[in-house]
Amino acid sequence: MKSDLNITKHISKSYNDELEEVRLLLIKMGDMVLGQVRDGLTSLLKLDKELAEQVIAHDKKVNQLEIKIDEVCTNILATRQPAASDLRLVICVIKTITDIERIGDEAVKLSRNALKIIQSENTLRQPNELKHLGELVIENLQEAIKAYANFDVEHALKVIEQDQETDEEFDNITRLLITKMMEDPREIKNTLRISWCARALERIGDHTTNVCEYLVFLVKGKDVRHTSLNKIKQRIE
Amino acid sequence: MNKSTGSITDNLDTEKTVGNVFADDAKMSMRNVNVFYSDKQAIKNVSLDLARNQVTALIGPSGCGKSTFLRCLNRMNDTIDICRVEGSLLLDGDDIYHKKMDPVLLRARVGMVFQKPNPFPKSIFDNVAYGPKIHGLATHKDDLEEIVVTSLQRAGLFEEVKDRLNASGTGLSGGQQQRLCIARTIAVSPEVILMDEPASALDPIATAVIEELIDELKEKYTIAIVTHSMQQAARISQTTAYFHMGNLVEVGLTDQIFTNPAHKLTENYITGRFG
């Protein structure tokens, strides 16, 4: 359900503008990183050298946006002394962009490993076993950004719930890759790279969960980090 | 005090106070207090405890009744003919509006510091010595001197004025005058100190000194402070009470009120929203 934090209902119009700017920049950064993860995964699945290099180069823009949002938030803290939901918004944005920036770093890892696999002498095949995990992670990240755009806690809770599926899929892939390495030791090097990529995707899932937990704090004022989903639901009822 | 139990609602009801008005160890207990200026009701059925050795901040927009409520706590409203106070107001269990309660003695137990520093046009020494003299707290000159020095020390002013105790109190800076008034208040050994915007006329440095002083004073006294500065309330108080149009809308731990208030009106006020 969409929540209305009324961030544009302050007496000071410029304060409204500053908070709205933060919100829009955060969504922009989320969309940018979502694109990075999509491209990173595609570059890996299709072993697309050009796309992989593009993802690596594009990471600078993500980092610059993180710094820009930090600056705007610092300025609000210094000049507005926000309280209550405004304070939670600024704090949550500062924490959220750290996780989003790290998601960007994981996307870069996918592309770096794609380049390594492309450069390796015995490249035999595309790492298709990561396709399902990648799609799950991208869908969850997309939904988390949507939840943030609408301050929608129920939506965020669904994303947190779905992270379990991501973890299970990661375990499945790990088992599969171990078997492959035992079957064909010549492929160990590249299989290890695929395993690191699976790990990167799983980490993206964890960062996405963090983002959703910050959103719960932002809207409900309850800190639900390091808490099981059932307990989260109980606490915000 | 209990923490608020849920996230903010759109409830705009102001008649029922949100949060726990009862303190575990109350120095003052007010129950169902109504205050009228002639026919106009300024305080509507307010109940609130002041916790012992804590700072309670009363916040709210102008005209919400917070100063009126504060002034009830040492019967300062007695001086206003058209003012009528109803309800139970207890200081350590004593009814402060009981006919046998002497308002002058009450005001020694419940002292007050005002927005604008108001030292007497007397020397620094005499400003502080006046209260103990009229209340007979010092029989000997040495005792009086000790009270004056101790009070000035507790108010954090002694080091700045020790060489000119006979100079006029009105010649001090605004911040020093306010600390002199605090020294004058604590010279009569009060149990509770009421402060009505004590730092609103001071610069940031003098304000910081007063805030630091309030933090130290709470070790010995129970303090209630009216302030329009949200940051000041957040910095110095342990409990915050939000008033709106004569109603006590919300009471809670200060940390809770300023991060996650339970009432929409409190949220609107402390974040500067329309409401």
In a domain, B154, yes or no: no
Q: What domain range includes position A153? A: 13-236
**Is B274 in Cβ contact with A222 (below 8 Å)?**
no
In a domain, A1, yes or no: no
pLDDT of B206 > 90? The answer is no
Chains A and B: how many Cβ contacts under 8 Å?
49
pLDDT in the model for residue A2 = 64
Average pLDDT rounded to a whole number, residues B109-115: 95
**Is B273 in Cβ contact with A9 (below 8 Å)?**
yes
Dist. CA A172–CA A129, nearest whole Å: 10
The pair of three-digit structure tokens given for residue B95, joined into one six-digit string? 């009814």
Average pLDDT rounded to a whole number, residues B225-247: 96
pLDDT in the model for residue B1 = 40
Helices (H), A46-83: 49-80
Average pLDDT rounded to a whole number, residues B178-191: 95
Pairing of strands B110-113, B94-95: unpaired
Within chain A, which residues score under 50 in pLDDT? Answer: none
In a domain, A225, yes or no: yes
A9 interfacial to chain B (CB closer than 8 Å): yes
In a domain, A55, yes or no: yes
For testing contact with chain B, the best of A11, A18, A92 (most B CBs within 10 A): A11
H or E stretch covering B233: helix B230-236
Closest CA to A83 of A1, A10, A2, A156: A10
In a domain, B108, yes or no: yes
**Is A219 in Cβ contact with B271 (below 8 Å)?**
no
pLDDT in the model for residue B2 = 39
Min Cα–Cα distance to chain A from B164, Å: 40
Q: What is the ipTM of this complex?
A: 0.80
In a domain, B158, yes or no: no
Share of chain B above pLDDT 90, in %: 85
A10 interfacial to chain B (CB closer than 8 Å): yes
Average pLDDT rounded to a whole number, residues B66-78: 95
pLDDT in the model for residue A175 = 95
pLDDT in the model for residue B5 = 41
- Sheet of B40-51: strand order equals B40-51, B26-37, B83-91, B94-95
pLDDT in the model for residue B179 = 94
pLDDT in the model for residue A73 = 97
In a domain, A143, yes or no: yes
H or E stretch covering A113: helix A84-119
Q: What domain range includes position B203? A: 17-120+194-270
**Is A11 in Cβ contact with B274 (below 8 Å)?**
yes
Helix axis angle for A188-220 and A13-45, nearest 10°, is 160
In a domain, B160, yes or no: no
**Is A15 in Cβ contact with B272 (below 8 Å)?**
yes
pLDDT tens column, A61-88? 999 999 999 999 999 999 999 999 999 9
Average pLDDT rounded to a whole number, residues B146-166: 94
In a domain, B255, yes or no: yes
Read off the pTM: 0.86
Min Cα–Cα distance to chain B from A148, Å: 18
DSSP output for B8-47: -------SS-BS----SSEEEEEEEEEEEETTEEEEEEEE
Q: How confident is the model at residue B189 (pLDDT cuts 50, 70, 90)?
A: very high
pLDDT in the model for residue B9 = 56
How many domains is chain A partitioned into structurally?
1
**What's the CATH number where A61 sits?**
1.20.58.220
> What is the number of alpha carbons within 13 Å of residue A194 lying toward its C-beta?
28
pLDDT of B15 > 80? The answer is no
In a domain, A179, yes or no: yes
Min Cα–Cα distance to chain B from A66, Å: 25
In a domain, A4, yes or no: no
A180 interfacial to chain B (CB closer than 8 Å): no
A89 interfacial to chain B (CB closer than 8 Å): no
**Is B230 in Cβ contact with A83 (below 8 Å)?**
yes
Nearest CA in chain B to A90: B259
pLDDT of B138 > 90? The answer is no
In a domain, A215, yes or no: yes
pLDDT in the model for residue B269 = 95
A1 interfacial to chain B (CB closer than 8 Å): no
Dist. CA B264–CA A223, nearest whole Å: 20
> How many angstroms from the chain centroid is the CA of residue B51?
12
**Is B258 in Cβ contact with A87 (below 8 Å)?**
yes
pLDDT in the model for residue A165 = 94
Radius of gyration of chain A (CA): 20
pLDDT of B205 > 60? The answer is yes
For testing contact with chain B, the best of A87, A90, A151, A153 (most B CBs within 10 A): A87
A235 and A179 Cβ atoms separated by less than 8 Å: no
pLDDT of B3 > 60? The answer is no
How many domains is chain B partitioned into structurally?
1
The pair of three-digit structure tokens given for residue A215, joined into one six-digit string? 């959103």
pLDDT in the model for residue B8 = 60
In a domain, B225, yes or no: yes
Q: How confident is the model at residue B13 (pLDDT cuts 50, 70, 90)?
A: confident
**What's the CATH number where B48 sits?**
3.40.50.300
In a domain, B125, yes or no: no
Q: Residues with Cβ < 8 Å from B77, sequence gap 6 or more? A: B35, B68, B71, B83, B85
Q: Which stretches of chain B sit within 8 Å of chain A by CB?
A: 6-8, 230-231, 234, 258-261, 266-268, 270-275
Dist. CA A107–CA A41, nearest whole Å: 7
